[in-house]
Homo-oligomer: A and B are copies of this chain.
Amino acid sequence: MSARRAQISPWAPFEDRRRARDEKKHAVLRMAARLFLDVGYHRATLNDVATRLNITKPALYNYFRSKEDILEECYRLGQQMVDEAIAAIDAEGGDGLTRLRKLIRAYAQLMTIDFGMCLVRLDDRELSEEAYRRVRAEKRQDDLAFRRYIEAGAADGSIVACDAKLAAFAIAGSLNWIGHWYRADGAYSADQIADHFANLLTTGLEAKSARARSPSGKNAQKTSTEPGNRSRKISP
């Protein structure tokens, strides 16, 4: 088989190997993230991580330079998803309220997966000075995205005038908190939470005229499938 594949592409074996390596690396990351979240970064030993992957501790060093390097990657993966969400929302356009709701929904969803949780539950002070600064800067960017949308909404009339900074903090806080209480086997699915929070956190911000203008338009672009009128389910 490998002979046949070699005819198709002499690079296939290379690719295979690289992919296998990347997959293993990712498996380490997933396990590490799980453990970091479950017991905390400090109490999660590399031995734990390795043992649960059926390898030995030094084997981890084939993929990462240090424990902190693993942590850094966890942050990177989580942050990357946030970045992509923001970039997509920015690309799609729409008024401030619409974009804010999209971001809330996307961010809420991220808070229900491990790498997203890592962003808000792990202590970034464990990172090296350099990585710490990078992560902090990225987090600030995320917060600024919320603020940007609020301010845009205030400008385009979709959101009432308010202190954008505090409002962004309030929203981000609500969302980050999801990473602490969400359980995959809990009462709410990630989608449900995302929808609920998109409503919950923007009802107070909606400009009255906006409500008049687009009574249901606010839901026009939401990605999640939802049966019937959500506003009846989560009324505030």
Contact = CB atoms under 8 A, between A and B. Distances in A.
A201 B169 CA distance: 11
Interface string A220-236: 00000000000001111
How often does this chain occur in the complex, in copies? 4
Nearest to A125: B40
A162 interface: yes
A235 B164 CA distance: 10
Nearest to A200: B170
Contacts of A236: 159-162, 167, 204-205
Interface residues on A, range: 35 or more
A29 interface: no
A197 B177 contact: no
Contacts of A187: 165
Given A173-B176, A177-B177, A200-B167, A123 B40 contact: yes
Contacts of A197: 166, 170
A193 interface: yes
Nearest to A181: B169
B40 A196 contact: no
A163 interface: yes
Of A170, A180, A181, which is in contact with the most chain B CB atoms at under 10 Å from its CB? A170
Given A162-B200, A170-B197, A174-B174, 6 more contacts: A163-B234, A166-B193, A166-B197, A171-B174, A201-B204, A203-B203
